[in-house]
Structure 1
Amino acid sequence: MDICGSSHSSTGLQRVALKDIGPDMDNILIVALIIGKQRPRKFLDKTKETEQYKAVWTFTVRDSPRDYINVTYWGSSEDVCTASDKFYTGDVVEIRNPRINVRKFNETGEQFCPMVTSPYSLTLNEHSTIFPFNGDTFFLTKLLNFPTKPLAGFVPLRDIHNEGANMKERLVDILGAIRSVGNVRTVSTKRGQEMQLREIVIFDHTSGGLKITIWDSDIIARASTWKPRTTILFITDAKVEWSTFLRTYCAGVTSRSIITENPIGQEAATLANYAKNAPLTATDILDQFITELPDPESIQNVMCVQQILTKIRNFQENTLTDPQLTALMFVVITQLDLDGLSPVTRVKCGHCKSRLENMNSVCENSECSSNSKSVDVSFDISVHLSDHTGTLKNCRLSGATAEQVLKCSVQQFMRMTDRQKCELKWKFLMERCAVRIITLMSSKFSPRIVIVSCERANALETAQRIPIC
């Protein structure tokens, strides 16, 4: 098969659009954009007496928003692998003299190829040729941003986390924004074969992160250009998988998957706008959730420490992520280290809000365009809450809530002497308080418990409402 670097005269070939092809046509030329490709598969040619290998390579092309088709190239291992290494997703190619086949949807091969709109498939062999297209590619390259399935059919990431048991081994469509792109790693398969993989994490309105594993070299290379908070991906036919290490559900790109970068559609545009400033850390998510609460007084479900711990354990055993729990507790504050060695503030870059080590640290976020050293400082205090059933450790009293409870700003607190801080601590330590909390589970199932209000408890209300656990 000829894969020369430039096209030659195509005299005798008729250029045909994908929407116009038919099974009786031959001597045709198709110009189309590669929108996805698979890794070639090698196998021993049993028709030869000597040891020779053949290979098969499948890729997907389109020439309009509505028309896309799968192409399969059969040939010697050398020819097929050379062709696969030469052409990548995003290339516009001339396909000359392919064989046109009517698709048989019950064939095994159909289960491993991307979903396409054409009722046909193309086969390339020794009589076919493929070249880079040297004409105007502006219109065709724009097709990279057209999804191959309706965006509205995507599964929210939280549903994958929470209902993964029902989706395990199933194929789903996913829409997400890049949160992080991992390094390329080389691993050994069970058969002793070394393969490269890359892991990315995406997020959406419903979840701060879903890990996706990529094995295909073409997509691994494309991922190098993906940018956190900027690149939106629509991944078709990803497989839902359980991660024993992370104890959560993840997803993997399959041979059926087509990844559309920054797809055209309202759902993607809405996500892109959200991704620019979306809260991603557990702290930021809880801060936003607290900010959006209409009134902490709306939290009226009274719970004891043991009930909270049981709820958290149930979340862990049911492999749920990002579950939110609110409760009103009548508890004693048994740790409030305002005057000791424990950190009681957090520092962020004043421009991009990235976390900093201290007030003198320089922002290391490569995406931050600020040259100033402005910082935002806020409370972030560890509190232990205890009652007759146990202790909730490392609850966070932070931000504006901490200022309201302590009745001082973080700047005023930082100017206090150790004696003043000690006096402030003993206004709350070992005192019975009515505390309202929000609990959020992180991706690794460690609870993040944030205090949204705290005040000295009324003895009569405590006696009437404290649960007997």
Structure 2
Amino acid sequence: MRSRSGKPLKKCEVRLMDDGCSSFSFTIWDEELIDFAQTWTPKENIVFVVDAKVNFNSYSNSMVASCDPKTIITTNPDCREAHQLYQYAQGLGDLNTEAEEEKDTAGNSSFTDISVITKVYTVAELLRAQASGKEPSFSGILYAILMSIGIDEEADPARIISFRCTTCKMKAQQSSRQCTNASCPSLSSSSSSLFATEAQFSLPLALADHTGGLEGVRLAGKAASDLLQLTPGEFLEGTHPEDKMALKLRLQLERFKIYFKSGVVSGDKQKPLVRILSMSPTQPGDLVLAATS
């Protein structure tokens, strides 16, 4: 990119999000800040921006932000709001540069009460509702077959179990179990933060019904423990490879009643974001309810 005078320019567009906005464009022009921004990892870095310039962009028909010489950027500030935002981000599905995902609080203390969810969706209806973007988030019931669940010895452990620091609740390194938050009090103390972590499930699933398939679904927290009837600690320490395979075979190709929460996906390529609130084998009465609702 070049300026009007022909001077070469660098431009970096970063997509920011919080619990109130799924995608907000922040443009960086300064080369030093661009190099800084390229070290950020989605869902791992909390960015605190001061004195950014905010304007309405007629091309994108939305508000956008950009930096100027007065802009100050701080990553991973040690404050309650930053910790809460980090925990919220960890409850989302996978993020990438092509799609930013809408608010999803499954697995957190504030997730949707399933007793108020009554609307039944097929997979096709769920995907159409996401693509329409009419609702920023919605919940429902899905009756689907579990096509795959990544819990056997072939699965990447980092895609099954994640670890969080017990002090600041931010994500810990998968191998060393040390907190990734440079401002965490446990890192500044004389004692090591090694193993001062708590394990949490984050299981990849694929679902299907008579209308289509749904991949990229995440099963986390209590819903995962309830389905497997295991805690993360029991799964890590007491489950042998043959046990994992037996568990996988027992669950796969069975039909489940699934309470879910979905967010609207933005970006050039549409990517479903579905988090499971509760998942249990279907009962005969459930199928009748689905057929008549």
Match of 1:292 in 2: 110
- Choose from 315, 323, 328 the match for 2:141: 328
Distance of 1:289 and 1:402 partners within structure 2: 9
* SS class of match (1:370): helix
- Does the aligned pair in 1 maintain the 2:120–2:142 contact within 8 Å? yes
Q: Displacement of 1:431 after TM fit? A: 1.4
| Deviation by residue 1:382-436 (Cα, 9 ceiling, x = unmatched) | 1111111111112111111111222221111221122322332333221111111
Larger radius of gyration: 1
- Does the aligned pair in 1 maintain the 2:56–2:62 contact within 8 Å? no
- Does the aligned pair in 2 maintain the 1:331–1:434 contact within 8 Å? yes
* SS class of match (2:252): coil
- Choose from 255, 260, 269 the match for 1:437: 260
Match of 1:390 in 2: 212
Could you state the TM-score of these two structures normalised by the residue count of structure 2? 0.70
The answer as to 2:269 corresponding to 1:453 is: no
- Over 3 Å counting, the alpha-carbon distance change for 1:259 and 1:407 in structure 2 is same
Distance of 1:394 and 1:443 partners within structure 2: 16
- Over 3 Å counting, the alpha-carbon distance change for 1:360 and 1:391 in structure 2 is same
Distance of 1:467 and 1:357 partners within structure 2: 48
- Does the aligned pair in 2 maintain the 1:205–1:274 contact within 8 Å? no
Distance of 1:197 and 1:252 partners within structure 2: 13
Match of 1:281 in 2: 89
Match of 1:404 in 2: 226
- Over 3 Å counting, the alpha-carbon distance change for 1:236 and 1:453 in structure 2 is same
Q: Displacement of 1:378 after TM fit? A: 0.9
CA RMSD of aligned residues (A): 3.9
1:60-99 aligned at under 5 Å gives the runs none
- Does the aligned pair in 1 maintain the 2:105–2:111 contact within 8 Å? no
Residue correspondences, number: 257
One-letter amino acid of the counterpart of residue 283, structure 2:
N
The answer as to 2:240 corresponding to 1:417 is: yes
Q: Displacement of 1:375 after TM fit? A: 2.2
- Over 3 Å counting, the alpha-carbon distance change for 1:229 and 1:385 in structure 2 is closer
* SS class of match (1:427): helix
| Deviation by residue 1:272-324 (Cα, 9 ceiling, x = unmatched) | 86345224526356346753135213211100011112222323xx8x9xx32
Which one is further off, 384-393 or 457-466? 457-466
Distance of 1:203 and 1:391 partners within structure 2: 28
Distance of 1:241 and 1:214 partners within structure 2: 19
Q: Displacement of 1:454 after TM fit? A: 0.9
- Does the aligned pair in 2 maintain the 1:378–1:410 contact within 8 Å? yes
- Choose from 191, 196, 201 the match for 1:379: 201
- Does the aligned pair in 1 maintain the 2:107–2:221 contact within 8 Å? no
Q: Displacement of 1:209 after TM fit? A: 4.7
- Choose from 148, 160, 174 the match for 1:358: 174
- Over 3 Å counting, the alpha-carbon distance change for 1:467 and 1:300 in structure 2 is same
Match of 2:6 in 1: 192
Distance of 1:464 and 1:288 partners within structure 2: 25
| Deviation by residue 1:423-459 (Cα, 9 ceiling, x = unmatched) | 3233322111111111224564532211111111112
Distance of 2:173 and 2:275 partners within structure 1: 21
Could you state the TM-score of these two structures normalised by the residue count of structure 1? 0.46
* SS class of match (2:155): coil
The answer as to 2:194 corresponding to 1:342 is: no
One-letter amino acid of the counterpart of residue 282, structure 2:
A
Match of 2:20 in 1: 206
Distance of 2:30 and 2:176 partners within structure 1: 43
Consecutive unaligned residues in structure 2, runs of 5 or more: 38-44, 74-78, 93-102, 188-192
- Choose from 42, 56, 81 the match for 1:239: 56
- Does the aligned pair in 1 maintain the 2:163–2:177 contact within 8 Å? no
Q: Displacement of 1:232 after TM fit? A: 5.6
- Over 3 Å counting, the alpha-carbon distance change for 1:204 and 1:453 in structure 2 is closer
* SS class of match (1:286): coil
Distance of 1:282 and 1:364 partners within structure 2: 13
Consecutive unaligned residues in structure 1, runs of 5 or more: 1-186, 263-271
- Does the aligned pair in 2 maintain the 1:208–1:281 contact within 8 Å? no
The structure, 1 or 2, with the larger RCO (C-alpha pairs under 8 Å, 6+ apart) is 2
- Over 3 Å counting, the alpha-carbon distance change for 1:208 and 1:366 in structure 2 is farther
